[in-house]
């Protein structure tokens, strides 16, 4: 006795290489983020973007390794339904735990990417409001030139009287004007230097803001890719729930209200066999994709985040394209 009243998992006809693409996109997007010049301070206790991305990449690696959960045990478990009714459920529970662990890592990665996205958006907005411009520098330089001309004019001495008292008075007045003009020039020069420093800082801030805006867009893509990876493992988890429900109906492991199948019903039905094949294929495909392409590329991403090497960035782009091209062959024929 088999029931179809179970949570719907993805079917064989719905399996496609596109389901794996988000895993590649995550790595490719991290590579693009690594090409942004310099570093971006995120403010507060968040530190810098590159430091946070290095931590992020470590979590991505942990999600992709998923050493626990042997997919082939599912198929072997089905053969044990006649001899040992509890074996399939125990194996399914063990594998489901492994899948759920990976899925939860991707959920956390999505949250972290969203946090970084919002922080970069705030930096981009703040940098765009910087007021110091080249116009301010031109105005300050004009005032400095005016003060310099004033000093030059003040240094000219015209003494026409031959009386000592009058000459002394004229010289004293001249010295006072020169001193005042010199102070004015010094103040104007200092103002020009301050405005120049502010303009340079503003230009650098504008550049950082532009970089933060680029990072914001890429992080938006990273959030979506992490969601895609989360959905991928949710499909696997859903398959396992369906398998567990079907096996439970057959063996009586589903609970006291679930009838146990008769001996004549013990053959594995087509629906169950198809879901097992899909679950195995999805899990094994992601593991193979990681081992053959993504884990090595992630090492390159970490190097890129540390060095900003153009050569490394080119390699990462090429490797991610190769990974995308390899997706169709990672799924068994007939499933895609």
- Does 217 score more than 60 pLDDT? yes
Interatomic CA distance for residues 249 and 247, integer angstroms: 5
pTM score: 0.73
CA distances from 1 to 209, 250, 254, 255 (A): 64, 7, 13, 15
Residue, of 2 and 135, whose pLDDT is higher: 135
Q: Is the pLDDT of residue 3 over 50?
A: no
CB burial of residue 264 (10 Å; 0-12, 13-18, 19+): exposed
Of 47, 42, 37, which Cα lies nearest the Cα of 204?
Answer: 37
Question: Of 204, 205, 55, which Cα lies nearest the Cα of 115?
Answer: 55
pLDDT digits (tens, 9 = 90+) for 261-318: 333 344 557 777 788 888 888 888 999 999 999 999 999 999 999 888 878 899 999 9
Q: Which of 48-52, 78-82, 99-103 has the lowest mean pLDDT?
A: 78-82
Q: Which is more confident, 77 or 114?
A: 114
Residue 209 — very low, low, confident or very high, per pLDDT cuts 50/70/90?
A: confident
Nearest of 22, 54, 41 to residue 301 by alpha carbon: 54
Q: How confident is the model at residue 166 (pLDDT cuts 50, 70, 90)?
A: low
Between CA 33 and CA 120 the distance in angstroms is 12
Confidence check: pLDDT of 326 > 50: yes
Q: Are 246 and 161 in contact (CB under 8 A)?
A: no
Question: What is the mean pLDDT of the segment spanning 39-59?
Answer: 92
Question: Residue 251: which of 80, 69, 4 has the closest Cα?
Answer: 80
Average pLDDT over residues 102-107: 95
| pLDDT attached to residue 82 | 42
Write out the two tokens for 2: 């088999």
pLDDT over threshold 60, residue 136: no
């Amino acid at each position: 006795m088999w029931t179809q009243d179970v949570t719907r998992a993805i079917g064989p006809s719905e399996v496609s290489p596109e389901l794996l693409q988000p895993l590649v996109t995550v790595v490719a997007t991290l590579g693009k983020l690594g090409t942004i010049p310099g570093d971006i301070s995120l403010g507060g206790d968040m530190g810098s973007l590159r430091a946070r991305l290095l931590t992020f990449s470590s979590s991505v690696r942990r999600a992709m390794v998923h050493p626990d959960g042997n997919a082939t045990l599912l198929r072997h478990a089905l053969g044990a339904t006649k001899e040992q009714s509890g074996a399939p459920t125990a194996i399914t529970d063990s594998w489901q735990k492994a899948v759920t662990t990976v899925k939860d890592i991707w959920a956390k990665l999505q949250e972290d990417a969203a946090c970084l996205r919002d922080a970069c958006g705030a930096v981009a907005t703040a940098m765009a409001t910087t007021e110091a411009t080249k116009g301010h520098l031109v105005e300050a330089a004009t005032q400095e030139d005016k003060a310099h001309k004033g000093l030059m004019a003040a240094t000219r001495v015209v003494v026409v009287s031959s009386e000592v008292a009058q000459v002394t008075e004229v010289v004293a007045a001249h010295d006072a004007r020169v001193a005042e003009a010199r102070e004015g020039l010094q103040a104007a020069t200092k103002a020009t230097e301050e405005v120049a420093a502010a303009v340079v800082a503003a230009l650098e801030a504008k550049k950082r803001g532009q970089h933060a805006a680029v990072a914001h867009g890429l992080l938006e893509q990273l959030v979506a890719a992490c969601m895609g990876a989360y959905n991928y493992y949710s499909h696997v988890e859903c398959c396992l729930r369906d398998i567990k429900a079907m096996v439970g109906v057959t063996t009586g492991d589903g609970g006291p209200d679930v009838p146990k199948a008769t001996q004549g019903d013990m053959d594995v039905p087509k629906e169950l066999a198809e879901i097992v094949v899909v679950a195995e294929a999805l899990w094994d495909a992601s593991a193979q994709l990681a081992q053959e392409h993504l884990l090595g590329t992630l090492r390159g991403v970490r190097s890129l985040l540390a060095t900003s090497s153009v050569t490394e960035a080119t390699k990462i782009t090429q490797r991610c394209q190769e990974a995308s091209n390899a997706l169709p062959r990672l799924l068994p024929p007939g499933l895609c």
